[in-house]
């Protein structure tokens, strides 16, 4: 695997090209803390090997304009696997230009297949068998998923218990690619920081509006994971005395009022109660139906989304008092509703926050949309380049990800 071996040997330099795109020699020197002659030598070697290409020059205020280098297109890819509570989306992503080459979605209900890691492995294998991208050109796979994910050990303590070893080890063994795993909201936060709004770069809270209500935190330019790596369990803040039992075992969690699951439940209850809504024409109501009808102006759909958004705002008010962020980015599946979230959340912030704390907070909707989790997987895999074993998986006996990757 000569391509992967070169990426492994020069991971500290290549990862910046994956994330930042075209870079000059001086920019690379500053990023990787190596001398310009040393970086020049490495870049020239990678150009000769067909991994990097010279593709332009930077603007200059005077003097010679510096040349920039970028990764060659259509040569190396990653497999980004975006798991949520109901479905799994897979994408082959070109690491040079971030284009999604091929994509597939299949059903994997984490609540009904909690222990079925084999189901995920089989879905990934099927996708890899069908893809037209050569296996040798896929660096590795990054699986991002909900739950208490320990990225260092390669385990998910909430979902998809493997029959042996860690989840990362099991998937690596099954699919024939080295697999890394991480939390979905962490991935989305990193995507927003690197490829989204510039205000997410330093101090930002990124809300993953999905079947739960996830949270990724960027603090002082770095992702914040907390002591055990489980920071951001926004969904399970017990804010309401509603008597509703959350899947975590507590009552009144934010998830019981503001998640897409909660919105679906309220929609079905509303139809059953005889509310005047176009949803009454649907046989089985799901969130995509609610999106469709709310965008058409259905008053009942807009009402239940507004109520959920206000609940999110109540939770955010607490976080703003604690974190004082520069921005709050609404991302994830639910962010497609865009402005329907903004007004109710802002109303909740106005009612529950000290004005001085809300004045400088930018409340924004993600520009990355449903693909944020894919791009987050790209960022995470770039950070994991140095841990990719340059040998084919078939040539070694897989060991626990924590022992091999993070020793």
124 plus 273 within the same structural domain: no
Let me know whether 82 and 30 are in one domain.
Answer: no
Question: pLDDT per residue over 325-360, tens digit each?
Answer: 999 999 988 888 888 999 999 999 999 999 989 888
Q: 398 in a domain, yes or no?
A: yes
Q: Are residues 66 and 123 in the same domain?
A: no
In the chain, how many domains are there?
A: 3
| β pairing state of 77-83 and 138-145 | parallel
pLDDT at 360: 86
170, 292: one domain: no
CATH number at residue 44: 1.10.10.10
From first to last of the 407 residues of the chain, give the pLDDT tens digit. 566 777 878 888 999 999 999 999 999 999 999 999 999 999 999 999 989 999 877 666 555 678 999 999 988 999 999 999 889 999 999 999 999 999 999 988 888 766 689 999 999 999 999 999 988 889 999 999 999 999 999 999 989 999 999 999 999 999 999 999 999 999 999 999 999 888 788 999 999 999 999 999 999 999 999 888 888 889 999 999 999 999 889 999 999 999 999 999 999 999 999 999 999 999 899 999 999 999 999 999 999 999 999 999 999 999 999 999 999 999 988 888 888 999 999 999 999 999 989 888 999 999 998 899 999 999 999 999 888 876 544 444 333 333 332 22
Residues 270 and 383 occupy one common structural domain: no
- Nearest alpha carbon to residue 19 among 154, 183, 181, 196: 196
Instruction: Give the domain extent around 324.
Output: 197-367
Identify the pLDDT of residue 55.
84
- What pLDDT does 397 receive? 36
Q: Do 61 and 84 have their domain in common?
A: no
Q: Are residues 318 and 334 in the same domain?
A: yes
pTM here is: 0.89
Would residue 191 count as lying in a domain? no
Residue 199 has a pLDDT of: 78
Phi/psi of residue 200, nearest 5 degrees? -85, 0
């Amino acid at each position: 695997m000569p391509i992967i071996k070169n990426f492994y040997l020069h991971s500290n330099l290549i990862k910046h090209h994956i994330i930042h795109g075209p870079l000059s020699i001086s920019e690379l020197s500053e990023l990787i803390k190596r001398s310009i002659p040393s970086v020049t030598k490495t870049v020239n070697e990678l150009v000769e090997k067909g991994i990097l290409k010279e593709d332009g020059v930077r603007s200059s205020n005077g003097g010679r304009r510096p040349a920039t280098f970028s990764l060659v297109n259509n040569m190396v890819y990653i497999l980004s696997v975006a798991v949520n509570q109901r479905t799994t989306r897979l994408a082959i992503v070109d690491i040079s230009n971030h284009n999604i080459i091929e994509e597939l979605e299949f059903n994997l209900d984490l609540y009904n297949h909690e222990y079925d890691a084999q189901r995920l492995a089989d879905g990934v294998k099927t996708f890899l068998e069908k893809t037209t991208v050569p296996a040798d050109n896929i660096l590795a796979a990054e699986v991002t998923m909900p739950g208490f994910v320990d990225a260092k050990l390669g385990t998910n303590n909430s979902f998809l218990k493997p029959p042996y070893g860690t989840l990362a080890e099991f998937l690596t063994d099954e699919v024939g690619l080295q697999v890394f795993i991480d939390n979905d909201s962490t991935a989305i936060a990193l995507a927003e920081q690197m490829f989204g709004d510039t205000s997410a770069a330093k101090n930002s809270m990124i809300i993953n509006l999905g079947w739960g209500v996830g949270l990724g935190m960027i603090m002082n330019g770095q992702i914040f994971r907390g002591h055990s790596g489980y920071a951001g369990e926004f969904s399970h803040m017990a804010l309401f005395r509603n008597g509703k039992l959350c899947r975590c075992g507590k009552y009144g969690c934010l998830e019981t009022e503001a998640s897409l699951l909660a919105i679906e439940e309220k929609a079905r209850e509303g139809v059953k109660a005889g509310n005047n809504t176009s949803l009454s024409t649907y046989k089985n109501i799901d969130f995509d139906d609610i999106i469709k009808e709310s965008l058409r102006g259905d008053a009942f759909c807009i009402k239940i989304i507004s109520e959920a958004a206000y609940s999110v705002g109540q939770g955010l008010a607490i976080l703003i008092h604690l974190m004082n962020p520069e921005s709050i980015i609404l991302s994830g599946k639910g962010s497609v509703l865009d402005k329907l979230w903004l007004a109710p959340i802002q109303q909740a912030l106005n009612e529950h926050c000290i004005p001085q704390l809300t004045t400088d907070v930018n409340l924004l909707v993600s520009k990355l949309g449903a693909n944020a989790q894919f791009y987050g997987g790209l960022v995470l895999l770039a950070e994991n380049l140095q841990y990719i074993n340059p040998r084919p998986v078939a040539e070694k006996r897989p060991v626990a990800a924590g022992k091999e990757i993070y020793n």
